Amino acid sequence: MLKEGWPAEEAAALASAIIQEYTGMGRAAQLAFGERIPDGDAAARISDAARRAAAGEPLQYITGSTEFCGHRIEVRPGVLIPRPETEEMTLMIIGENNGFSGSATDLCTGSGCIAIALSLAFPHAAVTATELSQEALETARSNISRTGASVSLLAADILLDHPSHVPMSDLIVSNPPYVTMGEREAMHRNVLDHEPHEALFVPDDDPLLYYRAIAGIAEERLLPGGTVWLEVNENHAGATAGLFDVSHYRRVQVIRDIRGKERFVKAEKR
């Protein structure tokens, strides 16, 4: 069934993930006990999940959750599914800030994954998250409650609201929309058909739309010595970094992800 909609390698990975989700059997157990037949309820769930995945629905929406920095994060249609690159950036931030106890703000939080991971890694920090989408706000609120994270959640539009809606922060982090409309053709149908376009896309003629707003917020709300971390479009990483004037930032870096793509921008305020 899955092979009808996916390449063989991806179909096998999906099948394994679906079996693990509904039976608890990891990859090794599946290989060792491949002939074991799941009970009726599990078998029905596996069959339904496989059918939906074959039709292109993301597995995270089918199961209702995903793993992020070791935490189970709820996701649902209308809320962006956290990407490995976002997790990679978050782990970088955590790794570089051992014992952080200042104030951190996550702009465009979506499911709340970044803010939650930071709060749980830095229990003495004051973490705030902002989001415009009501559906994402509800999901983030549920995730914050379920994980026990301490995050202040704010409804805000970073493109329209005055920067004062953001608290003074030692750390500002964001994974805003950054895929240009012209790049849609290269994306898989499970993203285009199911994930919220408002959380993904920006106009071709204004790819830095959200980053300009974030740079403006950082100008007013990032404390001296504070740091901005951004996930960015690899085709506009240099231009994004250029939004942070070296007269105000002592170190501006474009950082490559694990696949060698220019995926993150880090700027330290003077």
What CATH number is associated with residue 226?
3.40.50.150
Q: Rounded to the nearest 5°, which phi and psi values hold at 229?
A: -120, 130
Domain co-membership, 42 together with 79: no
Domain-located, residue 212: yes
Domain-located, residue 83: yes
Band of the pLDDT at 49, cuts 50, 70, 90?
confident
pLDDT tens digit sequence for 152-210: 999 999 999 999 999 999 999 999 999 999 998 888 888 898 999 999 999 999 999 99
Domain co-membership, 122 together with 208: yes
Domain co-membership, 91 together with 25: no
Domain-located, residue 82: yes
- Do residues 166 and 109 make contact, with C-beta atoms less than 8 angstroms apart? no
For residue 230, pLDDT beyond 90 = yes
Domain co-membership, 197 together with 172: yes
pTM for the whole structure: 0.90
Average confidence (pLDDT) over 53-78:
93
**What's the pLDDT score for residue 2?**
66
Domain co-membership, 262 together with 155: yes
For residue 52, pLDDT beyond 70 = yes
Domain-located, residue 61: no
Average confidence (pLDDT) over 51-71:
91
Count how many domains the chain has. Answer: 2
Nearest to 36 by CA among 51, 46, 13, 60: 46
Domain co-membership, 156 together with 190: yes
Nearest to 145 by CA among 249, 79, 74, 97: 74
Domain-located, residue 188: yes
CB-CB neighbours of 186 under 10 Å: 7
Domain-located, residue 122: yes
**What's the pLDDT score for residue 31?**
61
**What's the pLDDT score for residue 56?**
82
pLDDT tens digit sequence for 81-100: 999 999 999 999 999 999 99
Domain co-membership, 34 together with 140: no
**What's the pLDDT score for residue 15?**
67
Nearest to 253 by CA among 261, 265, 263, 245: 265
pLDDT tens digit sequence for 240-254: 999 999 999 999 999
For residue 196, with 0-12 CB atoms within 10 Å meaning exposed, 13-18 middle and 19 or more buried, which class applies?
A: middle
For residue 14, pLDDT beyond 80 = no
Domain-located, residue 62: no
Domain co-membership, 78 together with 18: no
For 103, how many CA atoms within 13 A lie in the half-sphere containing its CB? 14
CA end-to-end span of the chain: 56
Burial per residue of 95-116, b for 16 or more beta-carbon CB atoms within 10 angstroms, e otherwise: eebeebebbbbbbbbbbbbbbb
For residue 75, pLDDT beyond 60 = yes
- Do residues 135 and 111 make contact, with C-beta atoms less than 8 angstroms apart? no
**What's the pLDDT score for residue 35?**
60
**What's the pLDDT score for residue 41?**
77
Band of the pLDDT at 268, cuts 50, 70, 90?
very high
**What's the pLDDT score for residue 32?**
57
Beta-carbon contacts of residue 32 (< 8 Å; ≥ 6 apart): none
Q: Which amino acid is residue 149, in one-letter code?
A: A
**Domain with 20 in it:** 2-55
Domain-located, residue 135: yes
The whole-angstrom distance between residue 74's C-alpha and the CA centroid of its chain comes to 12
Average confidence (pLDDT) over 59-82:
96
pLDDT tens digit sequence for 99-158: 999 999 999 999 999 999 999 999 999 999 999 999 999 999 999 999 999 999 999 999
Domain co-membership, 203 together with 99: yes
- Do residues 182 and 204 make contact, with C-beta atoms less than 8 angstroms apart? yes
**What's the pLDDT score for residue 229?**
98
Domain co-membership, 114 together with 22: no
Domain co-membership, 158 together with 45: no
Domain co-membership, 132 together with 46: no
